Structure 1
Amino acid sequence: MDREDESLYFLDMTACEPGDAFSTEFEKGKWTAVEYAMAQGPGKMVFCGPDTQASPIRLKLGVKGWHHVFVGTYRNPHYPDSCLLLRLSGDAGYTRAVTEDFRPGKDLVAPEMLPKQTDLCEAYWRSADLTGQDVIFHRPAAGQMAETITNIAYLRLTPLSAAEQARAERDRTDTRRLIANYDSGQHDMWSYGTDQEMADEFQALAQSDFKMVLWGCAGSFATFYPSRVGSEMRWSFGLPGYMRLGWQAVDRYRRHGFDPLRAAVRRAHEVGVEVYAQVRMIGEQLPPNHRGYVGPGDFQMQHPEFRCLTREGHRTRHLSQAFPEVRAKYVDLFREWVEDYGADGVCIIFCRSWPYVLYEGPVVRSFQERHGVDMRGLDRFDERVLSHRAGYVTALLQETRHMLDEVGAKVGRRLGTCYVVPADRKAADAPDMGPFTGPKSHGMDVETWVREGLVDHLVVHVEGVGRPDASDRVGIFRSYAELCRGTGVQVYADLYPRRQSGDSMRVRAMACYEAGVDGLCFWDSHRRAQRLSGWAMHRVLGHREDLGAPEMERFAKGLFRVVPMTSLDGFMIQEENCLPSDG
């Protein structure tokens, strides 16, 4: 940031209104104030918890013009989750902000970004014209995040330079090449029950480089909305953790008469983002989660005859696409999304939930007719076996494309397809079969999908971190980019890891674009979007041509910092003997 030395700090959060919202004790309806100090001076941070039912508080800024806004928070290590809601008074919804933490060895982050228990974390939130604006703070109302601690320690405002303001005010549409993947976890995280809560969700995508959201709304035929085709998600009763949260999420939207999918489509369109409703073809989980855990729904449980079968004839936990009834049921579900809900397309997650076809009766018989041999006696990676299995998955995509064209003709626009494929997760013991070994080994023929025009957006999912500069990933992405060149299919690199510094993202994004991809996708965006500094970088990664510029590097490196405190709740916190030693 160009004018760091002109920063204005708001250190005393008890200056927020109303003045009677605060106490030094933990009381119902109150925020708890705690004194602290850092190099810039003394202040008062405030906390509230799940049972306090504290009301929103408002900080009057009294400034004019464009400023960068930074948020300082504190996280007691005994409470690993913390979540703050904040918005400018003119915003349509809240931004959700967790205190950002990193995992050395797993995340790509500089050592100086790792906070200690004596530190505050400062994260860049946004740049905005603050004339006449206040900041409003609140805490989550429902879901997993409602069980967290909420804290705000300070705000820092830094005026923009003329060059920064010119960039901030520029309205660009040529950078919209990003996809956010919300893979179903958002439902139990927030337990949506109101339209405003869904508006909060899509606040993260407004005025950004994102053009599309993949909205997870089904695990096989179990849905996170009141479907007429599938059955509503049922979670195993009486179990803790996600099971309880899942039950509460369904119960809450029912009690509120709320349809999460309908609201998601509407709110996404309001911020100018397309919605592709998304399914993960999940099977039953291991006990005690086997009766209901993100799927698979009544249809699967009622039709054991449609299961994938092992070579020996044992039933698996997954339905087979070899059965026309299974494919037809999926196409009906997809039709509901685009015809009844107005989704812009359909997405299937193919980087999870295998197998899709194995050795079912129709598969074995048709293979025998075509090749004159029992496929069960062949190596499972025999080219003929893999091609035959893949043909049934291709049939699902052909039938999906036919339905989308039919509905699209009625509504007067093309409805799209997006498929997420596993580039680096091949089946166990699979040999090297070329650049598309990952999907091929699981019975998917991506080359045919592209050749037949069955996919519009192809997300190449690479999970491992690899080298920090992503140079070891370039070859993978380049293979897919070359496959799709000149076909109209857009290729996206799924950028990992989920947690990394802003500059790491910038460097890795440049490597992906260098490989020839059209854009980037981000798995678990519903979690990433809560990390203020990280998400600030995500939002601009569509600026492909600008990522190598010095000003973008400065921006990326200035998004997050650790700020040591000198005292906390009256104790000199940097003194070893002034810290708790009780374990």
Structure 2
Amino acid sequence: MKDVIISDLSQCQPVHRLDRDYRHGTWRLIDYETEEFAGTMIYSGPSMDSEPLTLPLNCDGYHAIYVGVHYPGQFGDAHVRLRLTDDPAYTLVRAETQSGKDLSGIPPELRWSHTTKSFSDYQVSEAFWKVADLTGANLIISRFNEGGRGGSYGEMYSSLVYVRLVPLSEAEMNEYRQELPRRDTKRLIAMNDAGIFSELRTKEDIWAQFEPYRDSDVDIMLWATFKGENCTYRSRIGRALTDSNNPFDRFAAHERWDVTLKKLEEQGIDFMTEVAQAAHALGIRIFPSLRLQGPKAVPLEMEKGSFYERHPEFRCKDKHGRGIAHLSLAFPEVRRLWISLLCEALEYGFDGVHVIFCRSQPFVLYETPVIQRFREEYGEDPRECPDDDPRFWRVLSTFVTQFARELKAAVDTMSKKMGRKLEIAYNITSTMESRLRAPGIDPASRPEVVGGTGKYNLSEVMQSNMVWGVDVEALVKEGLVDYLMPHPTFAMNAAEWIQPMVDLIKNTPVKLYPDLYPRRQPPAASLYSAQTLYELGCDGLTLWDTYSRVFRISEWAMMKRLGHQDALKYWREDGKGDEYFRVLNFKWIGDRSGDPRYYQTNG
């Protein structure tokens, strides 16, 4: 059976949405020839408002689908949205570019998998999308014509060069069936950050956030719901969403969720209800995610009407009594605020809660309750002690652990109210050392390294959390957590620090799901990373910022299968996924040669 290559996209319908020139509402047709075949690609750009196209596939049975996209280097990234006729929502496709930081934690023998992904604007990138039964199916091609106030997709170019369809033999179909998720492979936790919400305008946009997880090993979605008091829905408790154009209010200047919600509400769509329904339709549990952050740095710090603004007495303080831009867990009022927000989100049908302890530190510092407790315990003033005094960390941890206890009690109450078990997940810091040694960071430039008296070991995971008052041992021993997710986790050095975590959860109900880094990993690298972490004793994997992983479709095609713990070794041996991405050179494109020496020399 031969591959079917559809390279002439002038076949797309309706024809009045195609043009050889720039015409508003259309896609531009551009002729080309690659090393293997010739054809006609489609292109759209900002403000063209190009309407969706339908490409007849004229195929029967199951095929592997590969798509070729051209990314114009002079204009940065590009996007295209693809959907088969019966898909509930589109899949977003973007460039699978690589950078030096993507090599962090990847052994030298696998670096080829990254370097072979380089491409330029005189080339076309082909990526594996998925396997599907194409009987009676067409391909629907679209783009974002409208975007949010942040980095907008609407300002990007869009293209599709060709589609390659590979018919599957019976043996290949059997192999594909083995890759589908089972109960024992649902070992992945995904996290969607809230920055994407500025692009949502329709029900399909919401469901498109979940479509890549269809037939995947993802069990839980951590849904970014709270950036501090700023909520992604109409909360009765959190800060009211602003429709102000105040450029110093970060949620008005970008990430403008009020615009998103109004667009959806005009269509009778309740955002949170729709989100929960979309997740559950795919068999995915969903947890609202809380980032314990305060306002951003000056001048983007204005949050009118917030609890933070109304109650300066509840803010963290440094040794000199100066305010820190965080609310302190030392105060019962602050703990109640965060817990009540999470419980409010649970009312929409969510399945548990998630709190981020690997960002937005400190959670408690030199506030009056802390000073008083330290004096009661040690007869000293903590402000006169070194910053890295372990006694101070222990006192901080009493307040953070109290927050965890109160959250556990509230979640248990909600479980009884809703008639089902609700779970708790925490992101914690892997090791401070692993963060300080991230690519591009000079450890010697960081005060966490050069300051203090050296009483703690930066490479030790428990202490790296305890410095912020997060007593991981207490969380586990008191049964206050169901999922522990150390962030970030680079497989190549995880053996240096993760064993205490594995030992801590042994013979407990707690599951260890390290946060797989770097985010961008071709199949050979992600298979290595996952196999390594499982062999170290981890129960599953967390994928931070999954929304930025899924549109790298050839990588996601493998990453979504990483719950197949027992198959990883054999997939690595077989080089599975090595063919998911390739680059073809243009012999010519449009009116010019594809010779890289001459293609674009204007700077």
What is the TM-score with the length of structure 2 in the denominator? 0.90
Distance of aligned partners of 1:87 and 1:324 in 2 relative to their CA distance in 1, 3 Å threshold: same
TM-fit CA distance, 1:88: 0.8
Distance of aligned partners of 1:234 and 1:482 in 2 relative to their CA distance in 1, 3 Å threshold: farther
Look up the equivalent residue of 2:592 and give its one-letter code: F
SS of aligned partner of 1:300: helix
TM-fit CA distance, 1:420: 0.3
Is contact 2:243–2:259 with CA below 8 Å preserved after alignment? no
Look up the equivalent residue of 1:18 and give its one-letter code: P
2:293 aligned with 1:267:
no
Look up the equivalent residue of 1:133 and give its one-letter code: A
- Choose the corresponding residue for 1:277, options 285, 288, 308: 288
Distance of aligned partners of 1:359 and 1:550 in 2 relative to their CA distance in 1, 3 Å threshold: closer
Counterparts in 2 of 1:45-64, with a 5 A limit? 45-64=41-60
Q: Distance in 2 between matches of 1:235 and 1:421?
A: 34
Q: Distance in 2 between matches of 1:37 and 1:510?
A: 41
1:395 aligned partner: 402
1:522 aligned partner: 543
2:337 aligned with 1:329:
yes
Please list the CA deviations of residues 19-38 of structure 1 after superposition, one character each: whole Å capped at 9, or x if unmatched: 22211112111001111111
SS of aligned partner of 2:551: coil
TM-fit CA distance, 1:485: 1.2
Is contact 2:197–2:255 with CA below 8 Å preserved after alignment? no
Distance of aligned partners of 1:239 and 1:563 in 2 relative to their CA distance in 1, 3 Å threshold: farther
2:322 aligned partner: 314
Please list the CA deviations of residues 180-207 of structure 1 after superposition, one character each: whole Å capped at 9, or x if unmatched: 111222213x2x2322211111101111
Look up the equivalent residue of 2:576 and give its one-letter code: F
- Choose the corresponding residue for 2:488, options 462, 470, 473: 462
- Choose the corresponding residue for 2:462, options 436, 443, 456: 436
Counterparts in 2 of 1:225-244, with a 5 A limit? 225-234=233-242, 237-239=245-247
Counterparts in 2 of 1:371-410, with a 5 A limit? 371-410=378-417
Distance of aligned partners of 1:299 and 1:241 in 2 relative to their CA distance in 1, 3 Å threshold: closer
Distance of aligned partners of 1:242 and 1:502 in 2 relative to their CA distance in 1, 3 Å threshold: farther
**How many residues end up aligned between the 2 structures?**
567
SS of aligned partner of 2:377: helix
1:558 aligned partner: 579
Q: Distance in 2 between matches of 1:198 and 1:133?
A: 23
1:121 aligned partner: 125
Q: Distance in 2 between matches of 1:341 and 1:286?
A: 32
2:601 aligned partner: 581
Distance of aligned partners of 1:299 and 1:509 in 2 relative to their CA distance in 1, 3 Å threshold: same
1:484 aligned partner: 505
Please list the CA deviations of residues 515-564 of structure 1 after superposition, one character each: whole Å capped at 9, or x if unmatched: 11111111111111111111111110111111111477433211111111
2:204 aligned partner: 196
2:471 aligned partner: 445
1:23 aligned partner: 19
Distance of aligned partners of 1:169 and 1:119 in 2 relative to their CA distance in 1, 3 Å threshold: same
Supply the RMSD in Å over aligned alpha carbons: 2.1
206-215 or 422-431, larger mean C-alpha shift: 422-431
Please list the CA deviations of residues 387-425 of structure 1 after superposition, one character each: whole Å capped at 9, or x if unmatched: 110110111110010011111012221111000001122
Q: Distance in 2 between matches of 1:138 and 1:544?
A: 36
Look up the equivalent residue of 1:281 and give its one-letter code: L
Q: Distance in 1 between matches of 2:191 and 2:575?
A: 28
TM-fit CA distance, 1:495: 0.7
Please list the CA deviations of residues 44-76 of structure 1 after superposition, one character each: whole Å capped at 9, or x if unmatched: 111112311211111111111111100100011
Is contact 1:423–1:437 with CA below 8 Å preserved after alignment? no
- Choose the corresponding residue for 1:136, options 123, 137, 140: 140
1:286 aligned partner: 297
Calculate percent identity across the aligned residue pairs: 30
SS of aligned partner of 1:548: helix
TM-fit CA distance, 1:233: 4.2
2:533 aligned partner: 512
Q: Distance in 2 between matches of 1:393 and 1:531?
A: 37
Look up the equivalent residue of 1:571 and give its one-letter code: R
Q: Distance in 1 between matches of 2:220 and 2:316?
A: 33
- Choose the corresponding residue for 1:179, options 174, 186, 189: 189
Q: Distance in 2 between matches of 1:309 and 1:388?
A: 15
Look up the equivalent residue of 2:147 and give its one-letter code: A
1:208 aligned partner: 216
Is contact 1:220–1:297 with CA below 8 Å preserved after alignment? no
SS of aligned partner of 1:204: helix
1:544 aligned partner: 565
TM-fit CA distance, 1:575: 5.8
Is contact 2:4–2:166 with CA below 8 Å preserved after alignment? yes
SS of aligned partner of 2:576: helix
Look up the equivalent residue of 1:369 and give its one-letter code: E
SS of aligned partner of 1:352: coil
Aligned structure 1 segments of 4 or more residues deviating by more than 6 angstroms: none
Look up the equivalent residue of 1:142 and give its one-letter code: G
TM-fit CA distance, 1:236: 7.7
Is contact 2:374–2:380 with CA below 8 Å preserved after alignment? yes
Distance of aligned partners of 1:237 and 1:535 in 2 relative to their CA distance in 1, 3 Å threshold: same
Q: Distance in 2 between matches of 1:476 and 1:38?
A: 49
TM-fit CA distance, 1:110: 3.1
